[in-house]
Amino acid sequence: MYLLIVTLPLLGSCVAGAFGRFLGLRGTAIVTTTCVSLSFILSLIAFYEVALGASACYIKIAPWIFSEMFDASWGFFFDSPTVVMLIVVTFVSSLVHLYSISYMSEDPHSPRFMCYLSIFTFFMLMLVTGDNFIQLFLGWEGVGLASYLLINFWFTRLQANKAAIKAMLVNRVGDFGLALGIMGCFTIFQTVDFSTIFARASAFSEPHHYFIFCNMKFHAITVICILLFIGAVGKSAQIGLHTRLPDAMEEPTPVSALIHAATMVTAGVFMIARCSPLFEYSPTALIVITFVGAMTSFFAATTGILQNDLKRVIAYSTCSQLGYMIFACGISNYSVSVFHLMNHAFFKALLFLSAGSVIHAMSDEQDMRKMGGLASLLPFTYAMMLIGSLSLIGFPFCTGFYSKDVILELAYTKYTISGNFAFWLGSVSVFFTSYYSFRLLFLTFLAPTNSFKRDILRCHDAPILMAIPLIFLAFGSIFVGYVAKDMMIGLGTNFWANSLLILPKNEIIAESEFATPTIIKLIPILFSTLGAFMAYNINFVANPLIFALKTSTLGNRLYCFLNKRWFFDKIFNDFLVRFFLRFGYEVSFKILDKGAIEILGPYGISYTFRKLAKQISKLQSGFVYHYAFVMLIGSTIFITIIGLWDFISFWVDNRLYFIYIVSFLFIHFEKDISTN
């Protein structure tokens, strides 16, 4: 059963890829959706057995790479974090498959699309179930490949090509860090197996275990953790490597819901939670994680407030929520982070699929400024979008409320500089989150319409196949947080068993529950209300003061700065990309490839031998006595050297002959080049 969970999506993908043209749109849709749905049903059984029954399952299948101490076998490890991720991945994936049947019905290449969706699901399941770093890395690279294929699905669009290449390159940076982290793990622990590494982590946490780099000592566990975190930064779109996420919105909308909301971008968070026994022994790495996560949540929230593309607003919202998950890991509360990951998957998938429904109805229009007044035309979609937005901003008793507020309370109760930094940036981000969520609702559904008449005439609410996934996700967005809160993050719960390690000194969940002042607990709600109020006044009501601010120089500059995403892309292009392109052409291509390697390699060798043959051919005079004379001289020198070798060898070094011959060849070579 456990193996079927992982292999069913692969089977569906192979059938859709190999026989898609024979099965047609409906055939491939039925096969892939059935496979992923069966996988979800089996995941529910696994969840009951592993998490609720408290019996982790460990399956060793076959050797894969075996070389002396290095042993990476095919193995699957099902513990509580794994089965939670299985539920999330298979549930969202099966709904996205169902949604895509209707959404992609007009597309001639939809069998290929279904094949890609299923292969992505397979790789994501490989990532979360692997029992060693190498298998995790296989899944990690696989989801990167699948995201490239899906972003580039409409490959005739130039913007999609650019976005896919950008996603691949930015992922490479993070994957390089992860690969180095895995190598560091093997160097220190002599294994890549999770259970062995985590069992030995405490023994290697002492300062005398270090790496030496540039004659400086670095604490080994800290270096490994920061390298692993660089991998998480690349995959989970944290500040610095976040630029791929908004550009990836060129893909079909179901892909955004599956990859860039619920599953792939949360892989980094899952990996940090999985490696909690390592991170707990590196306070430095935890501080770095807290700062990066808090800055990401703030940066993405401020950027989202002035984006005009419907999907980009939700993409920045994803980026911001990932910041919350990361800094929850940074303050050593991995269980809360995974809980928020699960909750976020439901309401963010709902938001993306609702956005897809709007875009589908509006003839593929994504600009919110060209919408408005859609609440009366698309009442069902409006209701779904409203539920998703309320859950996102942490409206009381929705799913988002139960995890987001706990994260902020925990950050406050940490009583450290990094904890306070995370708390205040996270709280301000709540204000911006509320603002852009309501701005999206006002501009798209409630404001006076700016749409073309032809779009409004064609406008239709979601068909049944698109409505069913939205209804399921809406129920998840309302009830999942309430149902799972005590089970997953309640005081004294043993849901996670031994899979997430939190050192006693970092255990602060009881304190956050009972010692946080009431005013601190109310800050997120107050900020949410304030954000909604501001969005109403700025985007819905004609206010002369707001108009004056919008048209002022300061307003224009602020709009430009935030709308252009803090100029991250420009800085990267001007200072990094241009330098690397110039280096690639001037140094790597011209000096090395076409210079040194050509001269010392194939071109140089062939040229040298050609010239040498020409010089030697001049010795062919055609007179027999010349040849006899040369043979006599040669044999005389040869016999002399053999006879007097003991005497000569003391004075003469063979290497000198070699150097003399090589220099003689190059002198000739230079002369020939200068004459040419």
For 253-299, the pLDDT digits (tens) are: 888 888 877 788 888 899 999 888 888 888 898 999 999 999 999 98
pLDDT for 669: 56
Inter-CA distances, 296 with 39, 319, 325, 510, Å: 34, 7, 10, 27
- 387-426 pLDDT, tens digit per residue, is 999 888 888 888 888 888 888 888 888 888 888 888 889 8
- 444-496 pLDDT, tens digit per residue, is 888 777 777 777 777 777 788 888 889 998 998 888 888 888 888 888 888 88
- 643-655 pLDDT, tens digit per residue, is 777 777 666 666 7
Half-sphere exposure of 108 toward its Cβ, with a 13 Å CA cutoff? 0
Contact at 8 Å (CB) between 351 and 389?
yes
Q: What is the mean pLDDT of residues 628-639?
A: 84
- 592-604 pLDDT, tens digit per residue, is 777 777 777 777 7
Inter-CA distances, 170 with 123, 183, 194, 248, 346, Å: 19, 21, 27, 12, 26
Spatial distance between the Cα atoms of 76 and 3, rounded to a whole number of angstroms: 8
Contact at 8 Å (CB) between 12 and 118?
yes
Contact at 8 Å (CB) between 182 and 137?
yes
Nearest residue to 576 (alpha-carbon basis) of 79, 89, 170: 170
Q: What is the largest CA-CA distance in the chain?
A: 113
pLDDT for 42: 92
- 549-564 pLDDT, tens digit per residue, is 777 777 778 877 777 7
Q: What is the mean pLDDT of residues 119-132?
A: 90
Tokens coding 287: 């501080």
| Angle subtended at Cα 566 by Cα 562 and Cα 572, rounded to the nearest 5 degrees | 150
More confident residue, 562 or 137: 137
Q: What is the mean pLDDT of residues 216-231?
A: 87
pLDDT for 667: 65
pLDDT for 675: 55
Contact at 8 Å (CB) between 469 and 475?
no
Contact at 8 Å (CB) between 95 and 75?
no
pLDDT bin (cut points 50, 70, 90) of residue 39 is very high
Inter-CA distances, 264 with 258, 267, 532, Å: 8, 5, 30
Q: Is the pLDDT of residue 666 over 70?
A: no
User: Which of 12-21, 362-371, 665-674 has the highest mean predicted lDDT (pLDDT)?
Assistant: 12-21
Q: What is the mean pLDDT of residues 319-323?
A: 89
pLDDT bin (cut points 50, 70, 90) of residue 206 is confident
pLDDT for 90: 92
Identify the burial level of 210 via C-beta atoms within 10 angstroms of its C-beta, where 0-12 means exposed, 13-18 middle and 19 or more buried.
middle
526-557 as b/e: b if 16+ CB within 10 A: ebbeebbebbbebbbeeeeeeeeeeeeeeeee
Identify the burial level of 49 via C-beta atoms within 10 angstroms of its C-beta, where 0-12 means exposed, 13-18 middle and 19 or more buried.
middle
Q: What is the mean pLDDT of residues 511-531?
A: 84
Q: Is the pLDDT of residue 27 over 60?
A: yes
Q: Which residues contact 573 (CB under 8 A, 6 or more apart)?
A: none
Q: Is the pLDDT of residue 673 over 70?
A: no
226-246 as b/e: b if 16+ CB within 10 A: bbbbbbbbbbbbbbbbbbbbb
Helices (H), 215-365: 220-235, 244-247, 253-257, 267-274, 276-279, 283-304, 310-330, 334-361
Residue with tokens 């075996």: 66
Parallel, antiparallel or unpaired: strands 216-219 and 70-78 = unpaired
pLDDT for 665: 67
Nearest residue to 539 (alpha-carbon basis) of 452, 435, 394: 435
* Strand ranges for 140-222 from DSSP E: 210-213, 216-219
Spatial distance between the Cα atoms of 165 and 144, rounded to a whole number of angstroms: 11
